[in-house]
Each structure stands twice: as structure tokens, then as C-alpha cells.
């Protein structure tokens, strides 16, 4: 019984994350876009937490890995796309409520979800073959968290004339003072999602947080992450939270593009090299399903 509870614990955390993703979509559906964004950020927190619980209890399992992937599809694929599509298509002033722009918005959101699914499926296939401390492409958690935190930040500083500007003010201090964000900021979100979708499925080597060679930098990242999680839990200071994931993407994607790491090999192939390998893979899957 104790063994069952030990392995169930991280999956319960994962399940709570799925609930947050679903609540985010329900919030967006009723027009509460601030809450919808925060729920995605809560899902990001719990995505980090389930891995911590699994390592703490030594309860990592193949089931947990697969369940985490399904949770990430909902929380970081479907929920952010649903939030952006629902919010942007309701304001006639943005031009995404009809015609070609609405089709482009829908296409950006669809490609985001597809890139998320491809990224997660690829990680399940070749993730364990990657060099220690390295991701190929940016993680779905990082991409979705960046979109959600900037969306909430834009809402905090949104021009009151926007249709989906929050009716009540955010709690906590305004680090950016009396700055007002106009429609332009929300118009660039679909393009930003396309860029992040491409980075998710890219082969760029991106270091994992906490696996840096510099202990000082690792400690700085850990402290900044903890501060960001506290802000997310308290639902305050999204503008402070936004700097770290944005800086991480800009810094390490830029480094990967302009100064490729010579000690990082290219990712292994996704598909079998020959028909015989494909038949072996299919046979293994069929045997697994027959016994499952």
C-alpha cells in the first residue's frame, strides 16, 4: 500500500495540473482572461512540482512520464491556444474577429498545439538519448509559461478601452508605473506563438535549468525560479515573472544559433532507419498492448 501511495503522489500532482488547465479554459470561456492566464501559470508550477515529488520519493515511473506528457498537451498546448484565440477574437478593435485575420489567428493557435504535441512525442522517443543537461528545442512548459505571463502582464497594463481589459485593477504594486499597453501588444501574440512553436520543434540545444556548470548561476536561477513561483501562487507581479523565461529564451536560443555548441551531438532520428526496424517497433507495441 505504501508503495502504491508513493508512486501515486507525483501523479496526483500531475492530475491537479490538468485540473488547472481545464479551469483555465473554463475561465477564458466566460471572459475572465486574467484568471485563465494565472491558472496556466499554476499548471506550470505543478509541472515543476510533480517532478520534484517524483525525485524526492524516488517514484519516477514510465506511467508517470506518459501521464505528464498528456497533462502538458492540455495545459501547455490546448489551454494557451484557447486563451489567446478566445480573447483576441472577441475584440473588433484588434481585427481578429472576422475574415482573414481570424483565419490567421486560428492557424497560429492550431500550429501551436501541433508543435506542442510533436515536441512531447519527440521527447518521449529521444529525450532519454539527449546529452545530460540539454533539451533539443525549448520545453513546452517554458513556451507556454512565457505566453501566459506576458498575456497576464499585458492585461495588467492594458488600455482600458480594449474590450477584454480587466474591469478591476490588479492587486500589488505596478513595477512599470503608469504605462498603458495598447492593442499592438496583443496583435503580436499570434506571431510570437508561431516563433515559439518553431523553437519547440527545433533541434537547438537548450540547457536545462539547474544543470549549468556555474554554481553561482545555478543558485541565481533557483532563487529567481522560487521567487517567480511565489508570485504565481500569490497571483501578483506578472511583469517581474516575465523577465526570466524571456531572458532564458533570448540568451540561449541566440547562443545556440550564433555559437553552436561543438560538444552537443545532433538529435537521434525519430523513425527507424529501415523497414526491419519499423516492424520490430510495431511488434513491440502490439505485444505491449496485448499484455496491457
Backbone angles phi and psi of 45, in degrees to 5: -60, -45
> Is 256 domain-assigned?
yes
> Is 224 domain-assigned?
yes
What is the span of the domain harbouring residue 6? 2-260
Print the SS3 string covering 100-142.
Answer: HHHHHHHHHHHHHHHHHHHHHHHHHHHHHHCCCCEEECCCHHH
Enter the pTM of the model: 0.90
> Is 105 domain-assigned?
yes
> Is 286 domain-assigned?
no
**In whole angstroms, what is the distance from residue 242 CA to residue 150 CA?**
6
Q: What is the pLDDT of residues 67-94, one digit of tens each?
A: 999 999 999 999 999 999 999 999 888 9
Note the Cα 237 to chain centre separation in Å. Answer: 19
Domain count, the chain: 1
> Is 157 domain-assigned?
yes
Q: What is the pLDDT of residues 149-201, one digit of tens each?
A: 999 999 999 998 888 888 777 778 999 998 999 999 999 999 999 999 999 99
> Is 279 domain-assigned?
no
31: CATH: 1.20.120.1760
What three-state secondary structure class fits 182?
coil
> Is 35 domain-assigned?
yes
pLDDT band at 220 (very low <50, low <70, confident <90, very high): confident
> Is 242 domain-assigned?
yes
Mean pLDDT of all residues belonging to the chain: 87
Amino acid at each position: 500500500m505504501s508503495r502504491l501511495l508513493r508512486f501515486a503522489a507525483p501523479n496526483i500532482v500531475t492530475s491537479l495540473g490538468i485540473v488547472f488547465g481545464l479551469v483555465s479554459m473554463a475561465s477564458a470561456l466566460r471572459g475572465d482572461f486574467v484568471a485563465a492566464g494565472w491558472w496556466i501559470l499554476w499548471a506550470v508550477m505543478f509541472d515543476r512540482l510533480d517532478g520534484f515529488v517524483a525525485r524526492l520519493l524516488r517514484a519516477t515511473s514510465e506511467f508517470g512520464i506518459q501521464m505528464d506528457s498528456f497533462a502538458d498537451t492540455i495545459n501547455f498546448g490546448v489551454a494557451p491556444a484557447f486563451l489567446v484565440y478566445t480573447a483576441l477574437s472577441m475584440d473588433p478593435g484588434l481585427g481578429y474577429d472576422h475574415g482573414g485575420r481570424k483565419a490567421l489567428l486560428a492557424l497560429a493557435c492550431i500550429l501551436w498545439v501541433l508543435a506542442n504535441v510533436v515536441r512531447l512525442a519527440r521527447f518521449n522517443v529521444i529525450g532519454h538519448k539527449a546529452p545530460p543537461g540539454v533539451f533539443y528545442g525549448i520545453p513546452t512548459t517554458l513556451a507556454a509559461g512565457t505566453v501566459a505571463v506576458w498575456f497576464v502582464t499585458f492585461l495588467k497594463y492594458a488600455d482600458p478601452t480594449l474590450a477584454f481589459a480587466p474591469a478591476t485593477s490588479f492587486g500589488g504594486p505596478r513595477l512599470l508605473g503608469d504605462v498603458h499597453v495598447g492593442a499592438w501588444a496583443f496583435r503580436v501574440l499570434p506571431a510570437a506563438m508561431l516563433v515559439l512553436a518553431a523553437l519547440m520543434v527545433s533541434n537547438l540545444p537548450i540547457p536545462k535549468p539547474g544543470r549549468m556548470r556555474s554554481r553561482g548561476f545555478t543558485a541565481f536561477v533557483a532563487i529567481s525560479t522560487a521567487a517567480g513561483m511565489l508570485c504565481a501562487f500569490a497571483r501578483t507581479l506578472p511583469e517581474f515573472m516575465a523577465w526570466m523565461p524571456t531572458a532564458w529564451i533570448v540568451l540561449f536560443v541566440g547562443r545556440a544559433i550564433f555559437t553552436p555548441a561543438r560538444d552537443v551531438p545532433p538529435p537521434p532520428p525519430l523513425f527507424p532507419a529501415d523497414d526491419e526496424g519499423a516492424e520490430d517497433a510495431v511488434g513491440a507495441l502490439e505485444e505491449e498492448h496485448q499484455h496491457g
